[in-house]
Amino acid sequence: MESLLSFLERHTVRILTHRKALKAFEKSQRTKRTFLGEVKGWVDALVFAVFAVLLINQYIFQLFVIPSPSMVSTLNVGDRVFVSKTIYGIEVYPSGPKIFSANRQVQRDDIITFYNPEYDSKGPVFDILSQIIYMGTFSLVNIDKNEDGSIAERLYVKRAVGFPSETIRFVQGNVQVRPAGFASFVDEASFRNELFLSDGPHRSLESSSYEGIMAWGSLFGYQEAGVDLAASPAYLKSQYASVQGDSYPDDMYAFETAAKRAKHLINPADMQSRSDSAKYKSGIYVPQGSILPLGDNRDNSRDGRYFGPVNQKKINGSVRFRFWPITSMRYLGDA
């Protein structure tokens, strides 16, 4: 019995001594923690986190802040939304080609994000840097500003309204749709009602305002054509008086429509004026592979009326959910 106890004692001491030696060796091999070492560790962690966030924003989803009132009241200025980056295919790099997009087309009435066709680039270095900062901070920091300090809209958020082979025209701000294969136009309200679409799009400008806006545009057309305004029709001057105090037309598209028409009537032989006027009168035809996006706040939206249809390859996401403000959280896939 004593020999057994002695054996166990010797082996126990050996095991404990070995463990103690290992701990002493590990302790001796540890590198002392230094300030620079701590900083390097934090930098490594931060770089990894930013890189992970960029990958998520580019290939899975992006958090986006609504910068303008063009979608009020569906989306208000300052709302934060979740944008799916996979629903229409995946961009290989920002504004680059998409993969897995063959069977992932935009659906009618989707709220989409796309690259602003009128965006004024500040150079590739700044564009890339601003995107890295914006995406890396989950849309909290945006250094891309206009000269007046407002946020430059690199991405637009609008509703997909016009589809391939359709023609969309605007009569005093009201949308009219000519579906593919039809000879006549139908007003948007009836079109949306028949297809059970969202009631988000709305007007805020009174129809009585258009007499003054159109007169203003016509007088501008006279001026562009080199006609002395003193010789312009008296009724136009009278109608213009109702908006004379405005600094900017409430409906720029209607203003431009009237201006182009006036220039054509003044000189019917001017083929450029004739073509410009006909374009406004005929409406906007949507070619294959493209979408005509419009804002829900029709009277305060810089949209497809001005820059035309957008190629589906430039549509990089769909707004699916609003998560801020908390009191307005909602799913937007059917908004």
Is residue 115 in some structural domain?
yes
Query: Which of 39-43, 141-145, 277-281, 282-286 shows the lowest per-residue confidence on average (mean pLDDT)?
Result: 39-43
Rounded to the nearest integer, the mean pLDDT of the chain is: 85
Asked if residue 7 has pLDDT above 80, the reply is no
Query: Which of 147-156, 176-185, 226-235, 281-290 shows the lowest per-residue confidence on average (mean pLDDT)?
Result: 147-156
Is residue 17 in some structural domain?
no
What pLDDT is recorded for position 208? 92
Asked if residue 27 has pLDDT above 90, the reply is no
One domain for residues 213 and 241: yes
Is residue 8 in some structural domain?
no
One domain for residues 223 and 295: no
Model confidence at 29, pLDDT cuts 50, 70, 90, reads low
What pLDDT is recorded for position 170? 95
Model confidence at 10, pLDDT cuts 50, 70, 90, reads low
Model confidence at 14, pLDDT cuts 50, 70, 90, reads low
**% of the chain at pLDDT higher than 90:** 52
Which residue has better confidence, 85 or 33?
85
State mean pLDDT over 101-114.
90
Q: What does the pLDDT look like over 298-328, one tens digit per residue? A: 999 999 999 999 999 899 999 999 999 999 9
**% of the chain at pLDDT higher than 70:** 89
One domain for residues 56 and 144: yes
One domain for residues 86 and 224: no
Is residue 30 in some structural domain?
no
Q: Which domain holds residue 135?
A: 47-163+288-331
One domain for residues 56 and 156: yes
One domain for residues 139 and 76: yes
State mean pLDDT over 121-128.
78
Q: What does the pLDDT look like over 235-257, one tens digit per residue? A: 999 999 999 989 999 999 999 99
Q: What does the pLDDT look like over 43-95, one tens digit per residue? A: 777 777 777 777 777 788 888 889 889 999 899 999 999 999 989 988 887 77
Catalytic residue set: 70, 158
One domain for residues 155 and 294: yes
One domain for residues 304 and 220: no
One domain for residues 137 and 225: no
Is residue 40 in some structural domain?
no
Is residue 28 in some structural domain?
no
What pLDDT is recorded for position 24? 60
Is residue 224 in some structural domain?
yes
One domain for residues 157 and 59: yes
Model confidence at 125, pLDDT cuts 50, 70, 90, reads confident
HEC secondary structure over the chain? CHHHHHHHHHHHHHHHHHHHHHHHHHHHHCCCCCHHHHHHHHHHHHHHHHHHHHHHHHHCEEEEECCCHHHCCCCCCCCEEEEECCECEEECCCCCCEECCCCCCCCCCCEEEEECCCCCCCCHHHHHHHHHHHHHCCCCCCCCECCCCCECCCEEEEEEEECCCCEEEEECCEEEEECCCCCCCEEHHHHHHHCCCCCCCECCCCHHHHHHHHHHHHHHHHHHCCCCHHHCCHHHHHHHHHHCCCCCCCCHHHHHHHHHHHHHHHCCCCHHHHHHHHHHHHCEECCCCEEEEECCECCCCCCHHHHCCEEHHHEEEEEEEEEECHHHCEECCCC
One domain for residues 242 and 152: no
**How many domains does the chain contain in total?**
2
State mean pLDDT over 16-29.
59
One domain for residues 57 and 134: yes
Is residue 169 in some structural domain?
no
CATH no. for residue 294?
A: 2.10.109.10
Q: What does the pLDDT look like over 160-207, one tens digit per residue? A: 999 999 999 999 999 999 999 899 999 999 999 999 999 999 999 999
